[in-house]
Structures are given as structure tokens and as C-alpha cells.
Structure 1
Amino acid sequence: MPLTGQSSSDRLQSWSTHGIKSTDQFAYFREAICRAFTNLAPEKPASIDFPATLEHIRIGCGALNRLAYKNYVVHRSLPKAASTSARCFYLNLKLAGDCNIRLADRELRQDSGQIALFDSARGFAIEHKKSSSFGVASLQIPTEALNQRLSTPDDVLPTRISDDPVLGPLIAMSMKTLNLNAARMAEIDSVKLFDVLLDLVALSYSRREYRGVRETSSIAHATTLAVHQAIETRIRKPGLQVSDIAASVGISERYVHMLLAKNGTTFSDHLMQRRLEGIAADLRDPKNASRDIGSIAFDWGFAELSHFSRRFKQRFGVRPRDWRG
């Protein structure tokens, strides 16, 4: 049957077996996954129906593929790998369920939340274990894009990158941010984040395999991104401390202060700025017209109304009730 994907933009294509005849669902999905990825061979499941969705988001020379599906096994045999000119790496973030990645010389278990790197030039089989649902965000990386970041490029062995005690949290934060925002970010921004993520992956792989990696300032940029993201996700928490952010990112409190200082700010100033901006937006939002100003301020982490009102006027030049209009 002909394969047609739905496009919500020139960068995004999506496929779903919803509405497809049950007996045709797996064939439809198999054709979609081979189009979005490269010459894979998923095994047909025992059941007839196969609910699944797939999104393909272009990111410069790479792509992000998001899949949600039920239990199945996918193969990429050595003959298929050898016959494909478009070699690439896959960086897979498991969103739901768990699986085993089997290769000739090793096997990796990947649970939900873990990130694994492997080379499409190697034959492999991904076996998903019995569960109600599975999901994966797979970053498709052109071979040269990763190899050029390694001072001694070589065959990349399958590696659970998220296990890295130093860089793992940064890689996870960057990968999750890209997965959540790639479709709505400007492409130039998604490409920048993509490059930062590859810098981190290259450094992590080099540390694990005792190979060299070219120095790059992107590591500091990626860490700064992780710090900002950690603040954003906790910004409404009363009494938020720099120690909370340092622990979530996996770095020292001193390093958090240093990174923010490079951007000309401090932790307390940045937190105050972002909270006031959030409150200002909420006050102008018609959906909040009936909400008390104090309630909005408390919702953004302020503990004292007088302190909030004073800082709001310092920032915007008017009292909160005058800002609301």
C-alpha cells in the first residue's frame, strides 16, 4: 500500500497506524520506519493489530525520530548495513519500556530514561520486552558529524552513554530538551543544541574508551543550558537554592555560580528576573483576570507579598495592579 505521512511543517513528518486496516497496520509501520531510519527489518508481531506512531523531525544534517509502539523486534543485519551508503550513528533515549540491544560481541540493556549510542554499520537486533507500551526518541547522527569530534575516529562500540557519572546528566538534559522542543524550535536553534549534544557525547565516549577528544567550549555552553533548564523546571518552588540546581545537574554549587557569572548574572538575580517575567505575563493573561495578584506571586515562589511588590516595581516601573491594567 502507498505510504503517506502527515506534515505539520517542512521539517516534520508523522505517521500513525490509526485508521489503517488492522491487517495492514504493521506493513504500514514497517515502511514508515524504514523511510525515517535506514534499511531496518522489524519482525512482524503475533497480534494482527499494531498501534504505532512515528515522527521524523529534520535537524540540519541529522534528524530526530520519535516512536511509540507495542512489543516487537527490529533487526539490522550486517548485509543490510553493508548495502546502505548512508551510514550513521543512533543516539536513543528510551521514553517507555525497556529493551536489549544485541550485537555480535556484546549486549546492552536499556531501561526507560537511559541513553544508548550505537553504529548503524554494525549489525544489531533490538528486542523489546513485554510491556503495555514502548517509546523511543532516536537521534540520527551522520557518521562524519561524530567522527570529526574524535581525535582518533574508530569503530564506535555500543555504549550506554547515560551511565557516565560526570557527563551523563548533561547529556540526558540536552537530549530531553531537544526531544521536547525540536519540532517547535527554530531550526538554527535546534542545530546548535544538536551540536552541543554531539560534543558531550564525543567527550563521554572518549572518556570511557580512553581515546582523545578535541577541546571545545560547547561543554560549558551545554552545562549552562542544563543549569537554565533545571532552574526553569523548578522555578515555582519556594525557597529554591543553588544547591538544588547543582544536585540536579550533577555539578558543584561553585560551578553553577561561575557559569551564571560568565553570562553577567548571579543565581538569585537570574531566578528573580525569570519569576518576575513569569508573573508579568500571567498578570496580562486574560485567563488570570479573576485571580488575586498575591495568589499569582505565591504560585511563582514568592513568600512575602511586600517583597514581591517592591521587586516588581523596581523591575517594571509600576505596581503589579497598575501593570495588570
Structure 2
Amino acid sequence: MEQVISERRPRHFIWDTAETRPLEQFSYYREAICQAFMNLTPESAVTLRFPAKVETIRLGAGAINRVAFPEHTVNRRRADIAASSESCFYLNLKIAGRCRMLQGDREVSLSRGQVGIIDSDRELKLLHDRGPALAVASFWVPSRALRDRLPPSFDFEAERVSDDPYVGHLIVETARSLNSGALRMTEQDGVRLFGVLLDLVALSLSRRSRGQTAEAPCFADATALALRRTVHERLREQGLTVAAVANAVGISERYVHKLFERSGTTFSRYIVERRLDGAAADLKDPALLDREIGTIAFDWGFSDLSHFTKRFKQRFGCRPRDWRSG
């Protein structure tokens, strides 16, 4: 059975072994991963019950395959390769447990939060172990989509791209964002973010210098994504500084300012506007009607109520009290 990404298949599809009898669960899982990925040969020491779930989300010509399973081994053998009319890369974000990827004389280990890539055109072995609950978000990348981003003579090897000192954290951040948001965004937006992810992976594999990488548009786009996400996670912190955010993202304070300037704003203005948006939403929340306006302002990182009121009126055209009652 061969993986085919086509418009005829639903954009989102799930296989769950819980829907089958215990003795048939592993066979059902084997068929499911062949459908979601490509010809593969899994092996398991378990003969009874194999609780597993395979979820695929189409991204244009590629896909995200989320897989949860017990410990087992997956092979892609010479016969599997010969029976496939397509080739791809598996870009794996480890969600839980550990996986060892073996290809040729190279072994790459992935733990939770790490991202690795492996080529479907060569024999491989994936050893999923260490943990009763194992899970991976595996991006099915058409070979041409990545090869076109790499130098013509590029010699591919299995790689843990999350280790890259310059773009590794951006690869992880972008993979996480795409995995968590794929069903909330349109497929078109998902395809665009998938392209950013592939650009970053190609930058890492090509081992470009830090200077070249920092000026690449895709680097800036993905860094801005990581920057905004970090800010949103820490909006409620009073006294949030550029230094704290830059350190969390892994870039310089100067580059933080550059990215905000690139989007037509500043760090301070962006922080205040997002905090005001959050406070405005809380003021309209029926569940928070008993909460004092000052408490809501302090919850969103403001330390001065008069300053909060002034900025709120500038942004929304009325005082917080009027906004709540309006």
C-alpha cells in the first residue's frame, strides 16, 4: 500500500486501532501508516492489543502525520522502496518518548521537543522506545520540495536539525506552531507556514553562515513568529523587557527591535497594544464582571491605573468603565 496525497482524500483523516478487535490492531496500524506515510514494515513484540492512533492533515503536496503508539520498530526496506513510485523526507518532531533513527552507518536519537529528518529513498530503521506513551508529529515532505531548496550537489544524511545553533530553535518553534495550529488555519496558510519550515530546514542542512542566515527572509519570518509567540506567552508579566524576550527566543536585543520595525511597530507599542486587547476582552467577559477594572489592568501587566486608562481611551475611544458598560 502506498502513500498518496490527493485532493480525493479528506484534508483531515484519522485511523484508530481502538475501532478494531485486539488481534487485528497491529495489522490495522501497519496499513494505516502505509497509507499516511508510504510503504513501511513495522515490527512489534506485542501480539495482543496495539493501542495506536494515526492522524493525517494534508498540507498541499505534503502532510502532517501525528502518530501515537506503544514501543515498536518501523523499517523501510529495499522492497518497500522499490514498491513506491514517490520519494519523500520524514521530518519528525518528537512529542513523547524517544526514537532512534538509523540509516546507513548513521544513528540519530530524538527526544521530546527535538526535530530530525531522514530520507525515504534509502533503507532506514526507526526504533521507538523509552516510554509507555510514545508520539511523534511527522511531516511528510515531498523530496522535490526540499531538494529544490538545497544546493544541486547536496549529499543528504540523517540529521537532528533542532541542534543547529542558529536556526534550530526556529525549526522547533515553527514545527510546533504548524502542528498545533494546522486545523485552525486554512490549508493555504498551513502550506505557507510549511514552506517557511522547509526553508529553515534547508538553511540548516546547507550549513550557511550565521550572517547569511540572519538576513534570509524566511529566517526573519520564522523568528518573528517565535518572537510574537514568546511575547504572547509572557504578556501578563509586569516589567517584561526586550532582554528577557530576546534571551527566550535566542536572538539579540538589536534583532528584536529590527523585527518589530520590519512589521511597522516597536517592542513597547506591540506589548501595550496586545495587553490592551487582552484587558478589553476581559472587561467584556460576563464571567469577570465582578472583577475590578484595576485588577484586570494589573493582571495584564500594567502597573499604573491612570496610565492604563489613558492608553485604553487612546486605543478604543472610551474609558475602560464605559467599554465594560457599553
Q: Give TM-score scaled by structure 2 length.
A: 0.91
Cα deviation, 1:56-96, whole Å, max 9, x if unaligned, reads 00011110011111111111112212331110011100000
Q: Which residue of 1 aligns with 2:180?
A: 180
Asked if structure 2 preserves the Cα contact closer than 8 Å seen for 1:199 and 1:216, the reply is no
Q: Which residue of 1 aligns with 2:223?
A: 223
Q: Which residue of 1 aligns with 2:305?
A: 305
Distance 1:283 1:55 in 2: 38
Q: Per the alignment, in what secondary structure is the counterpart of residue 126 of structure 1?
A: strand
Cα deviation, 1:267-293, whole Å, max 9, x if unaligned, reads 010011111111112222223233332
Q: Which residue of 1 aligns with 2:86?
A: 86
How many Å apart are 1:319 and its aligned residue? Answer: 1.0
Q: Per the alignment, in what secondary structure is the counterpart of residue 29 of structure 1?
A: helix
What is the alpha-carbon root mean square deviation over aligned residues? 2.0
Q: Per the alignment, in what secondary structure is the counterpart of residue 202 of structure 2?
A: helix
Distance 2:288 2:66 in 1: 35
Letter in 2 for 1:265: T
How many Å apart are 1:125 and its aligned residue? Answer: 0.6
Q: Which residue of 2 aligns with 1:3?
A: none
Q: Which residue of 2 aligns with 1:289?
A: 289
- Structure 2: stretches of 5+ with no match in the other structure: 1-8
* 2:193 counterpart of 1:193: yes
- Cα distance 1:121–1:253, how it changes in 2: closer, same or farther (>3 A)? same
Q: Which moved more, 1:218-227 or 1:255-264?
A: 218-227
- Cα distance 1:287–1:168, how it changes in 2: closer, same or farther (>3 A)? same
Distance 1:172 1:315 in 2: 35
Asked if structure 2 preserves the Cα contact closer than 8 Å seen for 1:227 and 1:249, the reply is yes
Q: Which residue of 1 aligns with 2:24?
A: 24
- Cα distance 1:47–1:297, how it changes in 2: closer, same or farther (>3 A)? farther
* 2:113 counterpart of 1:128: no
Asked if structure 1 preserves the Cα contact closer than 8 Å seen for 2:44 and 2:71, the reply is no
Q: Which residue of 2 aligns with 1:276?
A: 276
How many Å apart are 1:104 and its aligned residue? Answer: 2.0
- Cα distance 1:154–1:301, how it changes in 2: closer, same or farther (>3 A)? same
How many Å apart are 1:258 and its aligned residue? Answer: 0.5
Superposed counterparts of 1:123-272, under 5 Å: 123-207=123-207, 216-272=216-272
- Structure 1: stretches of 5+ with no match in the other structure: 1-8
- Cα distance 1:104–1:194, how it changes in 2: closer, same or farther (>3 A)? same
Cα deviation, 1:248-276, whole Å, max 9, x if unaligned, reads 22110000100110111110100111111
Superposed counterparts of 1:1-20, under 5 Å: 10-20=10-20
Q: Which residue of 2 aligns with 1:64?
A: 64
Distance 1:301 1:10 in 2: 44
Distance 1:249 1:264 in 2: 20
Q: Which residue of 2 aligns with 1:4?
A: none
Distance 1:74 1:191 in 2: 28
Distance 2:157 2:98 in 1: 20
After the TM superposition, which parts of structure 1 deviate over 4 Å for at least 4 consecutive aligned residues?
Answer: none
Q: Which residue of 1 aligns with 2:6?
A: none
Q: Which moved more, 1:194-203 or 1:230-239?
A: 230-239
Letter in 2 for 1:89: F
How many Å apart are 1:204 and its aligned residue? Answer: 0.4
Distance 2:289 2:27 in 1: 51
Distance 1:20 1:236 in 2: 47
Asked if structure 2 preserves the Cα contact closer than 8 Å seen for 1:82 and 1:121, the reply is no
Distance 2:130 2:161 in 1: 24
Q: Which residue of 2 aligns with 1:105?
A: 105
Superposed counterparts of 1:41-52, under 5 Å: 41-52=41-52
Distance 1:271 1:319 in 2: 19
Q: Per the alignment, in what secondary structure is the counterpart of residue 154 of structure 2?
A: coil
Letter in 1 for 2:241: Q
Distance 2:53 2:144 in 1: 29
Distance 2:153 2:61 in 1: 19
Asked if structure 1 preserves the Cα contact closer than 8 Å seen for 2:23 and 2:47, the reply is no
Distance 2:155 2:269 in 1: 46
